């Protein structure tokens, strides 16, 4: 049985940075900063942001449980405002 390979940890990060460059969005080094900046500027919708957060975590980004919970809660608040 062949085990599927995981994506390289930087794949989701590279996608987010590509979107940021496309829209000339200034970014800070943090991955969550970039995710929420794109969301706030309406360059990404909440569903895409949720998917990208999941991709980041799946690909190996470590977030302590409290930070991950806060990020998901913040995404939920964005969803409720739409």
Q: What is the pLDDT of residue 3?
A: 43
CA gap 21, 63 in Å, rounded: 24
- With vertex at residue 29, the alpha carbon angle to CA 28 and CA 31, rounded to the nearest 5 degrees, is 100
Q: How many CA atoms lie within 13 A of 3 on its CB side?
A: 3
Asked whether the whole model's pTM tops 0.85, one would answer no
Quick: pLDDT tens for 4-39: 455 555 666 677 777 777 887 765 557 888 889 889
Quick: pLDDT tens for 34-76: 889 889 999 899 999 999 899 888 887 777 888 899 999 999 9
């Amino acid at each position: 049985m062949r085990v599927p390979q995981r994506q390289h940890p930087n794949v989701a990060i590279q996608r987010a940075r590509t979107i940021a460059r496309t829209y000339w969005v200034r970014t800070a080094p943090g991955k969550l900063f970039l995710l929420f900046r794109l969301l706030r500027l309406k360059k990404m919708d909440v569903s895409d942001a949720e998917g990208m957060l999941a991709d980041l975590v799946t690909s190996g980004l470590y977030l302590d449980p409290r930070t991950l919970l806060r990020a998901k809660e913040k995404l939920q608040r964005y969803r409720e405002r739409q």
